[in-house]
Amino acid sequence: MNTSMLLRAAALALIALASGANGVRAETDQLRIAQQFGIAYLPLIVASEKGLIEQEAKALGIAPPKIEWLRLSGAAAMNEALISGGLDFATAGITPMILTWDKTRTTAKIIGVAALGSMANILTSNNPGIKTIADFTEKDRIALPSVKVGFQPIVLQMAADKAFGKYDKLDELTVSMPHPDATAQILSGHSEITAHFTSPPFSQQQLASGKVHQVLNSYDVLGGPHTFNVVYSTTKFVNDNPKTIQAFVRGLDRANEWIRANPKDAAALYIKAEGSKLAPDFVESIIRDKNVNFTTAPEGAQKFADFEAKVGLIKQAPASWRDLFWSGLGDKSGS
C-alpha cells in the first residue's frame, strides 16, 4: 500500500472513530410500515399519498427514507414481522400493543410511537330485547375479531367488570369472526350471531340499516374518548433513528390537520386508496363523526393498562402512559 493510500485509510479510521465517540450515525435509509384495513388507518393513507413523512425528514435535515407500505392483517402477524426484523413500524389496537409491550420488556422491548386516533367502537345487536349487556343470555353470541385477546374483547371485559364485578362473565358468549362476515350475518337475521362489537365503518353501516341498535359504546366504558389503534416499534429502532421517528410523527400530525380541514377530500382519498365501494358521503360522515378524532396523542392508555394488569393479562401496569410510548410524545396532552 503506498503512502497516499495509507494516509487516506488513516483519515477514514479517524473519522469513524470520532463519529463513534460522538454517537453520530446515519439514520435508516428505509422505513417499512405495515398497516391494516379501515378508516382508522386514514392518517397513514394521507401521509403516504402526500409524502408528508418524506417532507418532514427533509425539514429535519436528514435524507428521506425510502418508505415501503405493507398490508398485514392482525397483531400476531405484525408482531412476528416486527420482532424478526422484517418490519420497522407495526399497527394494531392499543390493548394488544400493551400486551406485547409487557411480554417483550426484556427482549425486543416494544414501544408505542404514536396513536392513530380516538374512535368509539360500538356493540350492536339485532335482538330488540337486548338493551344492555345484562340482557344477554346463553342463547346469544357476540362476534369479535378474536376472542379474549384483542381490542373489542378487552373492552367488553372492562364493561362486564363494571356491570357484574366479573370481567369474564360474557367471554363464553363471544366468537371470533372478521368484521365484514359478522356484519353480513347480523344484518341477515338468520344466524346465531345476535351481537357484534365492531369499529367504523361497520358500526355505522349496521346502525344505518335500521336492523340493529346500539347496546354499548366503548367511550362510555372508558369514561370518555380513547385511542383505538396505534403505531409501535422496537426500542432499539426508535433510539437508533430519533429524527426519523420525529419526522414520522410530524407527518402524521400534518395528515390529521389536513383530514380535519378537508373531510370531503379525505373521504375521496380513502375510497381511492382502499378501492372502497362505500359512498363518499357515508365515509365523510364517519370522518366528521363527533366520536372520531384523528390525533397522535394517546387517550385512555393508562386505563387500558391498569385493567390488563388488574385481570392478569400483563404482569405490571406502567407507572404512566408515557412509559408505553416514545418519549417525544410526552409533550402531548395524552392520558
The pLDDT tens digits for 267-317 are: 999 999 989 999 999 999 999 999 999 999 999 999 999 999 999 999 999
Q: Which of 222, 243, 273 is the last residue of a domain?
A: 222
Residues 90 and 126 placed together within one structural domain of the fold: no
Residues 137 and 163 placed together within one structural domain of the fold: yes
Residues 105 and 146 placed together within one structural domain of the fold: no
Which three three-digit cell numbers place residue 197?
A: 362489537
The pLDDT tens digits for 168-185 are: 999 999 999 999 999 999
* CA–CA separation, 114 and 328 (whole Å): 9
Residues 130 and 217 placed together within one structural domain of the fold: yes
Q: Is the pLDDT confidence value at 13 over 50?
A: no
Query: Is residue 21 assigned to a domain?
Result: no
Residues 202 and 247 placed together within one structural domain of the fold: no
Q: Which of 3-7, 39-43, 79-83 shows the lowest mean pLDDT across its residues?
A: 3-7
Residue 25's pLDDT is 61
Q: Which of 196, 222, 248 is the last residue of a domain?
A: 222
The pLDDT tens digits for 98-115 are: 999 999 999 999 999 999
| Strand order from edge to edge, sheet including 227-234 | 90-93, 227-234, 110-119, 292-293
Residues 275 and 326 placed together within one structural domain of the fold: yes
The pLDDT tens digits for 216-226 are: 999 999 999 99
Residue 17's pLDDT is 44
Q: How confident is the model at residue 12 (pLDDT cuts 50, 70, 90)?
A: very low
Residues 233 and 107 placed together within one structural domain of the fold: yes
Residue 2's pLDDT is 52
Query: Is residue 18 assigned to a domain?
Result: no
Q: Which of 175, 207, 222 is the last residue of a domain?
A: 222
Looking up residue 75, the CATH number of its domain turns out to be: 3.40.190.10
| Strand order from edge to edge, sheet including 195-198 | 174-176, 142-144, 195-198, 122-125, 213-217
Q: How many domains does the chain have?
A: 2
Percent of the chain, pLDDT > 70?
A: 93
| pTM of this structure | 0.89
Residue 22's pLDDT is 46
Q: Which domain holds residue 299?
A: 27-118+227-331
Query: Is residue 324 assigned to a domain?
Result: yes
